[in-house]
Homo-oligomer: A and B are copies of this chain.
Amino acid sequence: MIGQSGIAVKTVSRASVQSVAELAKYGVATIHEAMGRVGLLAPYMRPIYPGAKACGTAVTIFAHPGDNWMLHVAAEMLQPGDIAVLGTSSDNADGMFGDLLATSFRARGGVGLVIDAACRDTAELRDMGFPVWSKAVNGKGTVKATVGSVNTPIICAGALIHPGDVVIADDDGVVVVPKARAAEVAAAAARREDKEAAVRKRLAAGELGLDVYGMRDMLAKAGLKYFEDEAAFEAEAGK
């Protein structure tokens, strides 16, 4: 049940290492398209420094506002290549995560954090190269008083995430690929990139998307009318 507290699942099934490695080659926008335009977290999730990039299997965390206890519980569940993903029981922007936890996560093999709350020690995290996507940066500290859960399904920034799913994050935001679809999506992303490379070449040479994609007829059917210049349009409008 989404949002149940008091559960910590030690071992979960994860997407395969190969499929994670495949997906790591592509950006968030490409993977979102390759999945059929699904899987994105809300765009308020932003990297704490430009150029941040991470791809890993999710250890999911469910936490309460102003309380970061479950991040410590999650540290123990992290395996090399995991990315921690935290959702909350209600809207919160406290600084639940800083350089100490990042040190611990890294020591366990964790490759990043996606947190629907805030983080702090951002200068240190940038220096460490530990990537975090969050809704805010906030020096505000938290208590450790109320248990949530680790490795149960969560909703983070409007997306449903299961433990073991693949999470890819970069400058464009964060996308989640269900573990069962990882290989298939990686293949679709590869096909999409190939196709885009060909299109990019044509566009760079000055060809128009209108022609590359064959849109002219559809635009006409959809009602677009061309006018040579402003005078021509005004003449038509004034009729």
Contact = CB atoms under 8 A, between A and B. Distances in A.
How many copies, total? 6
A38 B3 contact: yes
Contact of A66 (B32, B33, B43, B90): B90
Contacts of A100: 196, 199-200, 203, 209
A29 interface: yes
A103 B203 contact: yes
A158 B157 CA distance: 7
Interface in A132-165: 136-141, 143-147, 151-152, 155, 158-160, 163
A228 B10 contact: yes
A226 B39 CA distance: 23
A93 interface: yes
A41 B101 CA distance: 23
A187 interface: no
A89 interface: yes
Interface of A: 1-13, 27-29, 32-33, 36-40, 42-43, 46, 49-51, 64-67, 69, 72-73, 75-76, 89-95, 98-101, 103-104, 106-108, 118, 120-124, 126, 136-141, 143-147, 151-152, 155, 158-160, 163, 170-173, 175, 178, 181, 196, 199-200, 203-210, 213, 215, 218-219, 222-230, 232-233, 237
24 contacts: A2-B159, A2-B160, A3-B39, A6-B223, A7-B225, A8-B227, A9-B227, A9-B232, A10-B228, A28-B120, A32-B140, A46-B137, A50-B126, A72-B209, A72-B210, A73-B210, A75-B208, A89-B140, A90-B92, A100-B203, A100-B209, A104-B207, A147-B223, A163-B230
